[in-house]
Amino acid sequence: PSKVDGLDGEIEADLRILGCELIQTAGILLKLPQVAMATGQVLFQRFYYSKSFVRHPMETTAMGCVCLASKIEEAPRRIRDVINVFHHIRQVKNQKTIQPMILDQHYIALKTQVIKAERRVLKELGFCVHVKHPHKIIVMYLQVLGYEKNQSIMQLSWNYMNDALRSDVFVRYDPETVACACIYLSARRLRITLPKVPSWYSLFHVSQAHIEDVCKRILRLYARSKPNSEELEKKVEELRKEYQDARQRARGVVSGNNTPNSGASPVNNVSPKNNHSDKHRSNSRSHSRSRSRSRSPSKHKRSKKHSRGRSRSLDRRSKKSHKTRRSSYTPSPSPPKRSRDKTRYRSRSRTPVRSGSYDKYYSGSDSKKSRVKHRESPTRIRSRH
């Protein structure tokens, strides 16, 4: 993917080495186990085989790989600690005075970028983040060969394996092949003879060609000069600007093609055979429109009259309701006598009249006398007086 965006193969290899060195140094400062650092480097290598260095910044992706690897190997570290460690490494590399990172908007933006980078790595790898490391395989193979007590060959092969993480060996070959190549390099350097008949690597189902290819890729790391991070960043920034400019141009072309004024109008592209039918359709449409216009005013007038009548009736009802409300809330100062008599009569008629069956509950009380007086009509009361 990086070559498609114009990045040279040597620059890509230097960026891979630089990113893996950053992960290794940050893991040491964060006191992570070696397995977690190895997992982060393998994830970093895998990610940039599916994405480009031009489109995705290397340092932010390295931070995301460190966070993800620490979680995978059950040694989680906070994002704040990871950002502070990378900030410290940058200051040491640029030979600046070491100062703590300020918790400002830049820090918040960087933290969100690291979280997004971690999620992006998970998405691109399809959540298949399990890494089988050849650490244990090297120990097992040396036990089979009878060199488990030789600490020098074990340590040297372990060192070769850690250096191989900076290359793309773990992406190209399985861990058994890498383990055999590391044992072969360490035995050759220490001048230790390995069984030839039968060949020792045939016990582990590994071919000689693969071992030689892995050894060449590992030894090529020691022949390379140390990459300059500033020059690499400048080249990547130039390619990134070119990519962004090309993307904006493509967007402008697409938006220009989608405008209504661009290109020939569909009316001019009509064939002469369909002109007669189009004229007939336009005439019929204009005729129907003229009919609708001639008929529409009367309908509109009727609807207006009807709406006016409704509005007037509604206004009258609202006025009446307003009057009744005002009369109910504002009592008249001198009400007529008839209305008083009626209200008294209504109030008397509405009072419930109890039957004699309830007298047993009111025996020995004054309420019975009051009820008897109440039952008597006003004419009888007048006659008594």
pLDDT at residue number 338:
52
Q: Helices 34-47 & 9-29, crossing angle to 10 degrees?
A: 150
Rounded to two decimals, what is the model's pTM?
0.63
pLDDT digits (tens, 9 = 90+) for 200-247: 988 898 999 999 999 999 999 999 888 888 888 888 888 888 888 888
Please list the rounded mean pLDDT of every run of 10 residues in the chain (385 residues). Answer: 82 91 95 94 93 90 95 93 94 87 92 95 92 89 89 92 92 93 94 87 91 94 86 86 85 64 44 47 51 46 47 53 48 51 47 50 49 49 46
pLDDT at residue number 163:
92
pLDDT digits (tens, 9 = 90+) for 271-280: 444 444 444 4
Structural domains for the chain: 9-124 (1.10.472.10), 135-223 (1.10.472.10)
pLDDT at residue number 384:
47
pLDDT at residue number 45:
93
pLDDT at residue number 304:
45
pLDDT digits (tens, 9 = 90+) for 154-202: 999 999 999 999 998 999 999 999 999 999 999 999 999 888 888 898 8
Which residues are CB-neighbours of 219 under 8 A, at least 6 positions away?
A: 185
